[in-house]
């Protein structure tokens, strides 16, 4: 019986791959070219045997038979421009989604795990990371970073108990040192302690609470 179930699972997985790629093919193929027909000259993309930088949609396939979609995007005058999507094998799930403007990443960025779950979001501007970036794990916020021109200014890391309750919230500076207000929580969600760090050094224990939320300092 287990062999039958295994066979059914494998057939289902293959079918999902095919259907996923069929959907991508229907989405792009009628107005896209195979990126294998593009060549690069002085930083610009051209179609083979043409002298005009390419403008239009493209698909990158995993193999020469054009079966598994790996990438889909567009060029404007030979430079990446507009939405861009990269997939795990055979287009089953997004690897990441972003956008380009005149060859530079510009716009919302989203990254995904192989299971399809969102793992990171942020914004790009003129090829650089800017603003707030958020990391996710198991559907929960794992960290946040404030970024300017690709440099991390500050960050917060989150830890959780097995029951899903937050256990720690730690603040860091751009040098990855504890900096600012850090909080610890009891397993029932009650605040346990609040302390303050400056450049990696503990400077103040602000508050402490017992399991029932009663202040003990």
82 and 16 within one domain: yes
For the chain, first and last CA: distance in Å? 62
79 and 160 within one domain: no
| Boundary of a domain, candidates 49, 70, 92 | 92
Range of the domain at 173: 150-217
pLDDT at 183: 98
Rounded Cα gap, residues 107 and 89, in angstroms: 25
Rounded Cα gap, residues 152 and 146, in angstroms: 6
For 17-54, write each residue's pLDDT tens digit. Answer: 433 444 444 444 457 999 999 999 999 999 999 999 99
| Residue 216 within a domain | yes
80 and 2 within one domain: yes
| Residue 166 within a domain | yes
| Boundary of a domain, candidates 71, 92, 113 | 92
| Residue 141 within a domain | no
| Boundary of a domain, candidates 92, 114, 141 | 92
78 and 1 within one domain: yes
| Residue 19 within a domain | yes
pLDDT at 65: 66
| Residue 101 within a domain | no
**Tokens 């094998």 map to which residue?**
89
Q: Which parts of the chain have pLDDT scores under 50? A: 1-29
| Residue 138 within a domain | no
87 and 1 within one domain: yes
| Residue 97 within a domain | no
The total number of structural domains that make up the chain: 2
Report in angstroms the alpha-carbon separations of 137 from 47, 92, 98, 109, 118: 41, 20, 20, 17, 8
What is the DSSP track for 61-73?
Answer: ESSTTS-SEEEEE
| Residue 108 within a domain | no
pTM of the entire structure? 0.81
């Amino acid at each position: 019986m287990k062999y039958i179930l295994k066979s059914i699972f494998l057939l289902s997985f293959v079918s999902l791959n095919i259907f996923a790629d069929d959907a991508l093919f229907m989405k792009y193929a009628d107005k896209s070219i195979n990126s294998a027909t593009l060549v690069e000259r002085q930083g610009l993309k051209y179609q083979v045997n043409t002298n005009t930088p390419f403008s239009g949609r493209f698909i990158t396939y995993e193999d020469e038979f054009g079966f598994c979609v790996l990438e889909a995007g567009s060029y404007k005058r030979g430079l990446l421009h507009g939405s861009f999507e990269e997939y795990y094998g055979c287009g089953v799930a997004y690897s990441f989604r972003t956008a380009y403007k005149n060859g530079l990443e510009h716009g919302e960025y989203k990254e995904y795990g192989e299971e399809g779950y969102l793992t990171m979001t942020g914004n790009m501007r003129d090829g650089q990371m800017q603003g707030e970036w958020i990391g996710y794990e198991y559907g929960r916020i794992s960290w946040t970073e404030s970024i300017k021109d690709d440099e991390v200014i500050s960050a917060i890391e989150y830890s959780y108990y097995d029951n899903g309750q937050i256990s720690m919230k730690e603040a860091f500076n751009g040098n990855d040192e504890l900096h600012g207000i850090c909080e610890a929580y009891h397993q029932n969600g009650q605040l346990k302690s609040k302390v303050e760090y400056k450049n990696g050094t503990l400077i103040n224990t602000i508050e402490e609470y017992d399991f029932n939320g009663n202040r003990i300092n």
